[in-house]
Chains A and B, each alone.
Chain A
Amino acid sequence: MAGVYCARDLHFPNTVKLVAIKEMMMHTDDSLLRDSIIQNFEREANILASLSHPAIPHIADYFTRGDRSYLILEFIQGKDLEKIINDTPGFIPEDQVIKWALEICDVLYYLHNYHPKPIVFRDMKPSNVMIDNNSHVFLIDFGIAKVFETGVKGTMIGTEGFSPPEQYRGEATPQADIYSLGATLHYLLTKVDPREEPPFTFHERKVRSVNQDISEEFENIINRAVRYKPEERYSNILEMKTALDRCLHGSRPAHRAEKSLDETASSNDVFSVRPVWIFECEDEIRQAPYYYNDMVYVGAYDRNLYAINANTGKMEWKAPTEGGIASKPAVLENAIYFGSEDKKLYSLYLKDGSLKWAYSTDDAIRSSPRIYNKVIYIGSDDGRLHAVSAESGHALWKIEAAGPVRSSVLVDDDLLYFGCEEGDFYCASLSGEIKWRNKTKRAVTSSPAVYQEEVIFASLEGHLFALDKNSGWIIWRYRMQKGSISSPLVFKDYVYVGSADGYLYCVDVFRPVEKWKFKTGGQIAGSPAVYEENIYCGSTDGYLYCLDATNGRMVWKYKTEGPITGSPVLFSHMLYIGSMDHRLYAIKV
């Protein structure tokens, strides 16, 4: 119930002197209550008038007219931190945040040591901190508006998300301001608004799980400031300032971001990840391999499908096609199935790779086969989804899609789900009848995943979608910074998906809320894989990453010699992944 005006002071007719006028309204007809509100207001205005600090706007006057009271304050040209957070693309650099934090510490030190009585600001949050055009800090809004809020169920003291627990018991000590400053810094660095998170949960949401560019030292300072118990925080603001000062000027190690990506050769030594074997073919491996019965099958751009012994890495056979293979194979009984850019779907006998049958489509096949009830479902660049008998290699039916089908089909509850390059997403019956379709703005190359009643996939328009699997209605969508062709993985109520923006995202399966994201140095095109609580994914920066599924912390990474666009496959503590360096790696996990 307050407004702020920018006004010109007409006492100075020959110059433009701007002031800020803060207007506060009373919502009561009770005259006793009114008098007490006005008294409180005047007391607060007098306190404000007695303060003198470069980071506190000067107060020029105050008065009350009718049911409104006014404060005339120095006008600050600049932006508040809330607006800076919203206007900054990406993250605000650590050094900048520390510099502001140091100035805030200065003014809080002034307030906390004020005589005759220390002043607790009580409402430290980004929208109450102005940054002027010279990048200096001003504290605005001295909670003076609060005397206008009368006893109502639910009235807040301080601001939800930024206030410490003890403030709800009516305690206001300097430790409360330390907590709120910690909360403000957390928001500045992560852009995760604490008002949208359960209160007092900063310890569950460490800064570096969101923003890996931040030093551990700075993260530790924030962690200590936002401790639940006041006595575990800094004992005074000066102590916090000293820590921040040391963080900015002290001999801290280089930021992780600065050293992460160019340390190629040494990083494999750092994490001591060693492949058990490496198999080399003649061209790039762009898709995931398939594991079956102690064998790993993988297609390469050298046009061959390779059958490799999973224990030794020795080739048992290879079978040529007439095009590059960008399709992950699948096995049924005694045969293996995969597509090739030569437009054909192949079926080869597992024992020696001899041809069982080949089925022709009208364009390159870049999608992977799915097998259900002895029928192979596979998309083709000819704009169709083909259903082919596994036994005979004859077409059962085809669905005409709006564009090339590179997405691989998901079969669930006797229904088929797939996307196409024109952005349409389809649900069809096993007999090829379209049940529903939904349209996204750009290509859906990603292959869907299903969880309970939701079907989940990514689109090149930059959204991760969750649709009702029965009707196709959009339940939620989650915005990524760039488009994605990565196929989502669902594990324990969370969706894991990569994007061209380089992030691997972990998003709640029931709502578009991010749990964590991890930045790689390239794009993530493949699907992540999970094995014993760890998430594995490759990136075009050449690394295979192993991340802790619960918090997105990197456990290790392994550098290959080329970009990785495929997905890892895990079986019995072994991980198999191909890279564009022409190699298939087998790594013990």
Chain B
Amino acid sequence: MNNNAIIHYQAAFAQSIGKQRDHNEDSIYVNTGLSFDNSGVKAFGLFIVADGMGGYVAGEAASSAATNASAVSLIKNMMIPFISDVMTDNMMSLHEAMEKSITDAQQAVVNLAPGGGTTIITGLLLDHQLTLAHIGDSRAYFIGRDGSIVYLTKDHSIIQKLIDTGEISEDEALSHPNRNYLYKAVGRDNSVKADIVTHVFRNDSRLLLCSDGLWGVVNENKIIKIVSKAKNIQIACDQLVAEANKAGGPDNISVILVESREIAV
């Protein structure tokens, strides 16, 4: 980056009920920003995809309750201090703030959507640090401009575990009766602990967050191809959703793509 340029994050998203469901149980949250202070320009972003479960009302209520509660929690505990640039000796670490956002999401689901459950994948970008928290089988990927793909999360699904241990094959997994079986979900247990990890978000890649409505039906090569060929990330999001629907659209589809942009000033 040259000295006269500032980095900021640009995000795009797309969503669809799919072809076989009559209601949408997915929720998303997208927020990017910039702040200026003495030490320079700071870019930030917060992105969430949640895939609810538990039937008509509960699933929808669970995913939106979890999404909103964790967004509010992170804005309060991380983004406001980040923008106001206040560092105190009892400040939360990024990982602690992420943990808190999941606890808050859990509480919100128990209160607002009893009986419901939801997956959640949250990406918090502060400068170039991407911190992810996830529970369930919604996923995050880095898609490089060179056509590479890095899968950043590991599903909390039994099927994934059974594949990993060689108990069943990838093909068998497609028709396995417990295909949708998650061993972790927000709202389904008294305490739930997310996988939290921090990565460096490099200029040469894009961040993709999505529900299983996308990755369950569109394979990685196709995803890479669409993202690399599309004129911009909004078109890429729309094409990804269209591709999932073309493949039958068996589930709700949610997609968020994020890239960093350099702006000359």
Residues of A at the B interface (CB closer than 8 Å) are 1, 27, 152-156, 160, 165, 168-169, 195-196, 198-200, 228, 423, 435-441, 452-454, 465-466, 468, 470-477, 510-512
For B115, what are the chain A residues with a Cβ–Cβ distance below 8 Å?
A: 1, 27
Interchain CB contact under 8 A, A195 and B193: yes
A198 to B115, CA, bound (A): 25
Interchain CB contact under 8 A, B95 and A512: yes
Q: Does B200 touch A at the CB level, under 8 Å?
A: yes
Given A1-B114, A453-B128: A474 touches B93 (CB 8 Å cut-off): yes
Q: Does B100 touch A at the CB level, under 8 Å?
A: no
Given contacts A199-B158, A473-B127, 5 further A-B contacts (CB under 8 A): A154-B181, A198-B154, A468-B127, A468-B129, A475-B129
B83 nearest CB across to chain A (Å): 12
For B82, what are the chain A residues with a Cβ–Cβ distance below 8 Å?
A: 473
Interchain CB contact under 8 A, A472 and B199: no
A153 to B161, CA, bound (A): 17
B103 nearest CB across to chain A (Å): 14
A19 to B42, CA, bound (A): 59
For A453, what are the chain B residues with a Cβ–Cβ distance below 8 Å?
A: 128-129, 200
> Of the candidates A154, A160, A168, A439, which one forms a contact with B53 in the assembled complex, judged by CB atoms under 8 Å apart?
A154
Which 5 pairs of residues, A with B, have the shortest CB-CB distance?
A474-B93, A154-B182, A476-B95, A153-B53, A27-B115
Q: Does B216 touch A at the CB level, under 8 Å?
A: no
Interchain CB contact under 8 A, B199 and A153: no
Count chain B CB atoms within 10 A of each CB in A440, A441, A466, A475 and give the residue with the most: A475
A468 to B39, CA, bound (A): 15
Q: List 6 A-B contacts (CB under 8 A).
A: A154-B53, A154-B136, A439-B89, A475-B94, A475-B198, A476-B96
Q: Does B84 touch A at the CB level, under 8 Å?
A: no
> What string of 1s and 0s marks CB contacts (under 8 Å) between B188-215 and chain A?
1101010011111000000000000000
A-B pair count, CB < 8 Å, reads 114
For B92, what are the chain A residues with a Cβ–Cβ distance below 8 Å?
A: 474
Residue of B nearest to A161 (CB): B183
A436 to B129, CA, bound (A): 17
A473 to B89, CA, bound (A): 11
A235 nearest CB across to chain B (Å): 21
For A153, what are the chain B residues with a Cβ–Cβ distance below 8 Å?
A: 53-54, 117, 180-182
> Of the candidates B39, B58, B91, B178, which one forms a contact with A435 in the assembled complex, judged by CB atoms under 8 Å apart?
B39
B215 nearest CB across to chain A (Å): 16
Residue of B nearest to A197 (CB): B193
A27 to B94, CA, bound (A): 37
For A198, what are the chain B residues with a Cβ–Cβ distance below 8 Å?
A: 154, 161
For A155, what are the chain B residues with a Cβ–Cβ distance below 8 Å?
A: 188
Residue of B nearest to A424 (CB): B89
Interchain CB contact under 8 A, B129 and A168: no
Chain B residues bordering chain A, tally (CB within 8 A): 47
Q: Does B253 touch A at the CB level, under 8 Å?
A: no
Q: Does B165 touch A at the CB level, under 8 Å?
A: yes
For B91, what are the chain A residues with a Cβ–Cβ distance below 8 Å?
A: 474
B97 nearest CB across to chain A (Å): 9
Interchain CB contact under 8 A, B42 and A471: yes
A293 nearest CB across to chain B (Å): 37
Residue of B nearest to A152 (CB): B54
Given A154-B53, A511-B95: A471 touches B182 (CB 8 Å cut-off): no
A150 nearest CB across to chain B (Å): 9
Given A1-B114, A152-B55, A473-B126: A439 touches B197 (CB 8 Å cut-off): no
Q: Does B112 touch A at the CB level, under 8 Å?
A: no
List which B76-118 residues lie within 8 A (CB) of chain A.
82, 87-89, 91-96, 114-115, 117
> Of the candidates A1, A152, A476, A510, which one forms a contact with B93 in the assembled complex, judged by CB atoms under 8 Å apart?
A476
A436 to B193, CA, bound (A): 32
Q: Does B162 touch A at the CB level, under 8 Å?
A: yes
Q: Does B139 touch A at the CB level, under 8 Å?
A: no
Q: Does B131 touch A at the CB level, under 8 Å?
A: yes
Given A199-B161, A468-B127: A169 touches B178 (CB 8 Å cut-off): yes
Interchain CB contact under 8 A, B183 and A471: no
A473 to B96, CA, bound (A): 12
For B8, what are the chain A residues with a Cβ–Cβ distance below 8 Å?
A: none
Q: Does B171 touch A at the CB level, under 8 Å?
A: no
Count chain A CB atoms within 10 A of each CB in B53, B129, B161 and give the residue with the most: B129
For B54, what are the chain A residues with a Cβ–Cβ distance below 8 Å?
A: 152-153
For B55, what are the chain A residues with a Cβ–Cβ distance below 8 Å?
A: 152
A1 to B161, CA, bound (A): 28
A454 to B128, CA, bound (A): 11
A460 to B131, CA, bound (A): 26
Interchain CB contact under 8 A, B95 and A439: no
> Of the candidates B96, B178, B197, which one forms a contact with A168 in the assembled complex, judged by CB atoms under 8 Å apart?
B178
Residue of A nearest to B182 (CB): A154
List which B157-173 residues lie within 8 A (CB) of chain A.
158, 161-162, 165, 167
Interchain CB contact under 8 A, A510 and B198: yes
> Of the candidates B93, B161, B198, which one forms a contact with A200 in the assembled complex, judged by CB atoms under 8 Å apart?
B161
Given A154-B181, A435-B39: A168 touches B198 (CB 8 Å cut-off): no
For B127, what are the chain A residues with a Cβ–Cβ distance below 8 Å?
A: 468, 470-471, 473
A199 to B95, CA, bound (A): 22
Residue of A nearest to B97 (CB): A474
Interchain CB contact under 8 A, B183 and A160: yes
Given A1-B115, A152-B53: A165 touches B180 (CB 8 Å cut-off): no
Given A153-B53, A168-B158, A468-B129: A439 touches B88 (CB 8 Å cut-off): yes
A131 to B95, CA, bound (A): 35
Q: Does B134 touch A at the CB level, under 8 Å?
A: no
A199 to B127, CA, bound (A): 34
List which B23-60 residues lie within 8 A (CB) of chain A.
39, 42, 53-55, 58
A463 to B39, CA, bound (A): 27
For B178, what are the chain A residues with a Cβ–Cβ distance below 8 Å?
A: 168-169
> Of the candidates B129, B136, B193, which one forms a contact with A196 in the assembled complex, judged by CB atoms under 8 Å apart?
B193
A557 to B163, CA, bound (A): 41
A534 to B162, CA, bound (A): 33
Residue of A nearest to B94 (CB): A475
A16 to B154, CA, bound (A): 52
Interchain CB contact under 8 A, A476 and B193: no
Interchain CB contact under 8 A, B114 and A476: no
Interchain CB contact under 8 A, B189 and A438: no
For A475, what are the chain B residues with a Cβ–Cβ distance below 8 Å?
A: 93-95, 129, 131, 198
A198 to B42, CA, bound (A): 36
B82 nearest CB across to chain A (Å): 7
Given A165-B167, A168-B162: A476 touches B182 (CB 8 Å cut-off): no
A511 to B131, CA, bound (A): 10
Given A154-B53, A168-B178, A511-B197: A474 touches B89 (CB 8 Å cut-off): no
Interchain CB contact under 8 A, B89 and A441: yes
Residue of B nearest to A153 (CB): B53
For B87, what are the chain A residues with a Cβ–Cβ distance below 8 Å?
A: 437-439, 472-473
Count chain B CB atoms within 10 A of each CB in A27, A160, A437, A452 and give the residue with the most: A160
A69 nearest CB across to chain B (Å): 16
A127 nearest CB across to chain B (Å): 9
List which B131-189 residues lie within 8 A (CB) of chain A.
131, 136, 154, 158, 161-162, 165, 167, 178, 180-185, 188-189
A535 to B89, CA, bound (A): 32
Residue of B nearest to A440 (CB): B89
For B128, what are the chain A residues with a Cβ–Cβ distance below 8 Å?
A: 453, 470
For A472, what are the chain B residues with a Cβ–Cβ distance below 8 Å?
A: 87
Residue of B nearest to A423 (CB): B89
For B129, what are the chain A residues with a Cβ–Cβ distance below 8 Å?
A: 453, 468, 473, 475
